[in-house]
């Protein structure tokens, strides 16, 4: 069975379909609009450490984030390494061999200060001699001077008397969950 189709119909149909095809191509080529999200709140320990180093005019202030991450990666108190650097090199003001921690009496060379930071953090956190020890025990091994642990811990308190600083959003989340528990009871 044949349907009679005029030549005019065959010419008009593609012309009518062209705008639809162009619209579909435009939709396919359109890129999705990126979702605008608020930046993650900066770790308050990094902010506190940067402020502390800045007040003392320490050259290592720009390594504040590295100090915190190295401590987290090696299960150390985040204030320990910065405090040792203050005692040993005034926060990077006086050192040699890229060794701001006085590691091996300052004789141990590191390729960069950042490399030294991560290597000392690893050793204090993971090496057999230091791991599974308290901060005070680590400090007694680090430097046999009997006043050393107290001096480092004093600086740790100056950086922050609180070990577990939280962001505002973390505090709000805890407050909301506590409020929800009270409301249920």
Kindly report the number of other CB atoms within 10 A of residue 85's CB atom. 27
Is there a contact between 41 and 169 (Cβ–Cβ < 8 Å)? yes
pLDDT tens for each residue of 38-64: 666 789 999 999 999 999 999 999 999
Kindly report the number of other CB atoms within 10 A of residue 117's CB atom. 24
Answer yes or no: is pLDDT of 22 > 50: no
Instruction: Identify the weakest region by mean pLDDT among 9-23, 50-64, 95-109.
Output: 9-23
Query: Comparing 15 with 118, which gets the higher pLDDT?
Result: 118
Binned at pLDDT 50, 70 and 90, residue 182 comes out as low
- String of DSSP letters for 111-140: SSHHHHHHHHHHHHHHSTTTTT--HHHHHH
Structural domains of the chain, ranges and CATH numbers in brackets: 44-159 (1.10.530.10)
pLDDT tens for each residue of 159-175: 999 888 765 555 555 55
Count of positions (residues) in the chain: 185
Q: Which two tokens stand for residue 34?
A: 């990126």
Residue 23, exposed/middle/buried by CB under 10 A (0-12, 13-18, 19+)?
exposed
Instruction: Identify the weakest region by mean pLDDT among 4-8, 40-44, 112-116, 146-150.
Output: 4-8
């Amino acid at each position: 069975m044949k349907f009679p189709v005029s030549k005019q119909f065959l010419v008009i149909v593609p012309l009518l379909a062209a705008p639809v095809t162009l619209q579909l191509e435009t939709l396919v080529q359109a890129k999705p609009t990126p979702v605008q999200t608020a930046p993650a709140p900066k770790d308050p320990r990094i902010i506190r450490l940067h402020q502390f180093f800045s007040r003392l005019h320490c050259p290592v202030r720009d390594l504040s984030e590295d100090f915190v991450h190295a401590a987290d990666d090696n299960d150390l108190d985040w204030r320990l390494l910065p405090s040792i650097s203050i005692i040993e090199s005034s926060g990077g003001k006086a050192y040699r061999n890229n060794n701001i921690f006085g590691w091996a009496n300052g004789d141990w060379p590191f390729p960069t200060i950042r490399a030294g930071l991560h290597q000392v953090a690893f050793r204090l956190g993971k090496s057999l001699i230091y791991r599974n020890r308290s901060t005070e025990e680590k400090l007694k091994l680090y430097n046999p001077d009997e006043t050393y642990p107290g001096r480092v811990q004093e600086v740790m308190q100056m950086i922050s008397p609180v070990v577990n600083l939280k962001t505002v959003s973390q505090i709000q989340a805890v407050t909301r969950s506590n409020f929800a528990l009270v409301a249920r009871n």
